[in-house]
Amino acid sequence: MFLPASIWRRQVGSKSVFCWILRRKLSVSSPLPSPPVLPSYAHQPTPYNKMMADEILRKRMEFLGPSIFYYYQKPLNIVEGRMQYLYDESGKRYLDAFAGIVTVSCGHCHPDIVNAVVEQTKLLQHTTTIYLHHAIVEFAEALASKMPGNLKVVYFVNSGTEANELAMMMARLYTGNLTMLALRNAYHGGSAGTIGLTALHTWKYPIPQGEIHHVMNPDPYRGVFGSNASSYAKEVQEHIAYATPGRVAGFIAETFQGVGGAVELAPGYLKLVYDIVRQAGGVCIADEVQSGFGRTGSHYWGFETQGVIPDIVTMAKGIGNGLPLGAVVTTPEIAQVLSQRIQFNTFGGNPVCSAGGLAVLKVLDKEKRQTHCADVGYRLIGRLKTLQQKHEIIGDVRGRGLMLGVELVTNRNDKTPAKSETLVLFEKLKDLGVLVGKGGLHGNVFRIKPPMCFGKEDADFLVDALDYAISSL
């Protein structure tokens, strides 16, 4: 090794020469260690002999809507799943740290749920609620038993979007008011109605969005008031006073904003705001589409972390472990407003989905998944925060249990989103065998929300893979 003569003549004896030599020496003598290896898993995937990725992509582009997007520069053809792992067309195994967008709660192809669905399918696939069937009432009773307070009446739908649409209609009918309040950075669905509740411009089409107002997001990391819940609550009160007729239909919030980047609301915020909204004649809606069923570890429902009981709760995704299933749970008084007309959902409470949903609740209880999420999440958060100290690009690590976010920034002081770096790391993680989600307005937050069977070995591998990927930038 030699130092270029021009540099040596100018800087001989200086600290800069020493640093230059040290950097060169380190770059030569300190190569990256070997990449981490997936934990062993005793499953042999079935050989795949159907359509390959290139042909599927070509047909998607020809026959499916052009708005459908995919992850990765070369999209994956996922053909099989077992618990927390997925397999592509070549048989390569991946650690699924995103659970089909926070949908697979118990694990891919969990045998208890598969058996419940198959056995019901053999007997009866569909009738609708115009006839009686035991599966829907058994599921409704079991679900209602998980709810606090007077939340006893269940409406089954097919998705989180439908659940939020129905909840908004309930709020308006029950209160006689029109104005809905939602949070900035929220995601509540993509229908014509719920697009109005959503407050991320990347998901909003330029169509009329009804009488919906978005108040300040109580984000402890990026919010203007930090973790000061009372300041955010005061802004809600002022917004009602200045920007509405003074009476509102309802307020809807995710306790942990999912698409928005795993943002947990400032502590104590919902308790303050629920009081303000109810004084203004509104009802309070908790969107538990992503944070419900014990995923946060500390509580079964996300809203319980804020010490509140909503008037209406919406849920989907993990409720069916991948089945198209959602629900709205409310009080008998609010539920009564829908009886003034016919309220009907053809597939809501379908026997197969009801049998699968009941099996999900039983598995979560039998396998103590809430406690498991708390234990594994504690380890995962601890290791991610240690990694944050090592890598400047990690601006924030947040969340609870297995509902986590890692926000990447190019500058910790001004919190500039690391957009391009996130894309590079996203691809690197996939190559290492880890599938995560992306979120936040700028797509710079890794969403880590795996199936709830995700173990401590998986957590360690994920962190080691992220460390390796960042180190190789």
Question: Do 243 and 181 meet the contact criterion of CB atoms below 8 Å apart?
Answer: no
Helix runs in 313-455, H state only: 332-335, 351-366, 369-390, 419-432
- 105 located within any domain: no
61 lies in the same domain as 166: no
Selection from 131, 132, 440 nearest residue 258 by Cα: 440
Burial class (CB in 10 A: 0-12, 13-18, 19+), 364: buried
Selection from 462, 383, 390 nearest residue 425 by Cα: 462
What was the pLDDT predicted at 30? 58
Q: Which CATH number do you get for residue 94?
A: 3.90.1150.10
What was the pLDDT predicted at 12? 35
- 106 located within any domain: no
**375-396: pLDDT as tens digits:** 999 999 999 999 999 999 999 9
What was the pLDDT predicted at 27? 40
195 lies in the same domain as 77: no
User: In angstroms, rounded to a whole number, what is the distance separating the alpha carbons of residues 310 and 288?
Assistant: 11
What was the pLDDT predicted at 26? 37
- 260 located within any domain: yes
Torsion sign (Cα): 291, 292, 295, 300? positive
**302-320: pLDDT as tens digits:** 999 999 999 999 999 999 9
280 lies in the same domain as 132: yes
User: In angstroms, rounded to a whole number, what is the distance separating the alpha carbons of residues 157 and 166?
Assistant: 9
453 lies in the same domain as 437: yes
Selection from 194, 175, 303, 319 nearest residue 249 by Cα: 175
| Number of separate domains in the chain | 2
Quote the Cα angle for 187-191-197, to 5°: 40
323 lies in the same domain as 388: no
327 lies in the same domain as 254: yes
User: Strands 437-439, 85-88: parallel, antiparallel or unpaired by DSSP?
Assistant: unpaired
46 lies in the same domain as 116: no
283 lies in the same domain as 381: no
What counts of helices (H) and strands (E) characterise the chain? 15, 18
Query: Which residues of the chain carry a pLDDT beneath 50?
Result: 1-29
User: In angstroms, rounded to a whole number, what is the distance separating the alpha carbons of residues 343 and 458?
Assistant: 45
250 lies in the same domain as 126: yes
* Last residue of one domain, picked from the residues 367, 395, 412: 367
226 lies in the same domain as 354: yes
Q: Which domain holds residue 16?
A: 5-100+369-472
What was the pLDDT predicted at 473? 85
Give the distance, in angstroms, between the CA of residue 465 and the centroid of all CA atoms in the same chain. Answer: 21
Q: What pTM did the predictor assign?
A: 0.91
